[in-house]
Amino acid sequence: VKVTVLAGGVGGAKFVKGLLLAVNDLPGSAEITVVANTGDDMWLTGLRICPDLDSIMYALAGVNDVERGWGRSDESSRVSEELSAFGVGWPWFTLQDRDLGTHIARTSLLREGFPLSEVTRRLASRWSLPVTLLPASDQEVETWVELPEVDGEPSLVHFEEWWVRLRARVEPLRFLQRGVESALPAPGVVDAIQEADLVLFAPSNPVVSIGTMTGFPGAHGRVGVSGIPGIAEALRNASGPVVGVSPIISGAVIRGMGDVCLRAVGRPVSAVGVGSAYGARRRDTAHGLLDGWLVDLADADAVPVLEGEGIATVAAPLWLSDDTLATGVARAALALAERLHP
Ligand code: FO1
């Protein structure tokens, strides 16, 4: 079977690790493609940083820092100490030594003229990852955050500055996907979605991680997020079922600060809120994306609501705290997909 997963960084990686174990139950071999969000990417200290691609690559290679979630294990900070002493870079955003090796290698290949998809293939080939890892786009699409005026000046900061320095404490006016209008899905992304036997949305940040790929509509007068042109269309044309896993359990995010992102686009922080923002694919031909939606057992009351909206919804345990639990979540997603497309 061919499975394609749309994913953000750390949560996406945990889900994919579970999926790799869950597909062992299926007959025949599985071919998994992971399409990673590139909206968190940025230039810093002259280097191209791709947090979500790296989080997934390191986790699947088994070289990630498990406790922190991002970056490599067995790290040191000698280079970042030197950069700080020169006053270069962001002192609150630590680029550690091994991780810097990745950014230098990536930037070097980009400078040689290779597109990000080819650069990612080359970096990942070092570890023979058990999946094909694709960036959502080869073009630079960066999420910026518009914050309320300070001293009469509207302030616009890169997503990472809002997320890491400000810890998402300031409520954004809106998100801006810089460069998204002229971006295209990276080579292989549209085919991976359209030709998959099933497409899964990892329980990643629905607004800035999945939304930067698929688009995420605003509500209650708030501006939504623009997706990379062509990805939502590929999802609507997908021949297999599209099944999402809720990143919200009992009205709170599984990890991170995605609740602030949902409020910023005027959406309720709930399994129903996220599911209905993605929308039912068959019924709402204008912009619906989902055939199936997995919610946590604690959100079982979401089932009849979303079923009423035309999305096949199942309640299952959704915590991803360890590989065994993550495998259970992936099994539940595969079972729902099987029901939708036997
Ligand atoms: N997150 C932090 O909270 N502090 C950091 O200093 C930091 C550095 C960092 C460097 C490389 C990288 O790939 C990720 C890094 N992250 C850091 C994680 C990242 O900011 C976010 O958690 C994700 O982008 C959100 O999905």
pLDDT computed for residue 284 by the predictor: 66
The size of the chain, in residues, is 342
Q: Which atom of ligand 1 is nearest to the CA of 205?
A: 26
Question: Considering only CA atoms, which residue is closest to atom 10 of ligand 1?
Answer: 95
List of E strands, the chain: 2-7, 31-36, 42-44, 47-49, 132-135, 142-150, 153-158, 174-178, 198-201, 242-245, 248-249, 252-253, 292-296, 312-316
Select from 109, 142, 141 the least CA-distant residue to 125: 109
Which among 269, 288, 268, 266 is positioned nearest to 279, based on CA atoms? 288
What pLDDT does residue 282 have? 80
The model's pTM: 0.97
Short-list 100, 4, 16, CA closest to 61: 16
**Residue 163 CB–ligand 1 contact under 6 Å:** yes
Q: Which atom of ligand 1 is nearest to the CA of 10?
A: 26
pLDDT in tens, 255-278: 888 999 999 999 999 999 999 999
Q: Which residues pair with 146 in a beta bridge?
A: 156, 174
Is residue 70 in contact with ligand 1, taking CB distance under 6 Å?
A: yes
Q: Report yes or no: 96 and 71 within 8 Å, Cβ to Cβ.
A: yes
First-to-final CA distance of the chain: 12
Q: How far is CA 327 from the centre of its chain?
A: 18
Q: pLDDT of 274-304, one tens digit each?
A: 999 999 998 766 789 999 999 999 999 999 9
Task: Identify the residue whose C-alpha is closest to ligand 1 atom 18.
Answer: 70
- Closest residue by Cα to atom 12, ligand 1, is 51
Ligand 1 centre from 187 Cα, in Å?
26
For ligand 1, say whether the CB of 300 is within 6 Å of any of its atoms: no
User: In sequence order, what DSSP letters do the residues of 147-196 get, joined into one string?
Assistant: EEEETTEEEEEEHHIIIIISTT-SPPSEEEEET-TT--BPTTHHHHHHT-
Centre of ligand 1 from the C-alpha of residue 124, in Å? 19
**Residue to mutate (ligand 1; options 41, 70, 90, 208; most atoms within 8 A of CB):** 70
Q: Which residues of the chain have pLDDT under 70?
A: 153-154, 284-285, 342
What's the 30 CA to ligand 1 centre distance in angstroms? Answer: 31
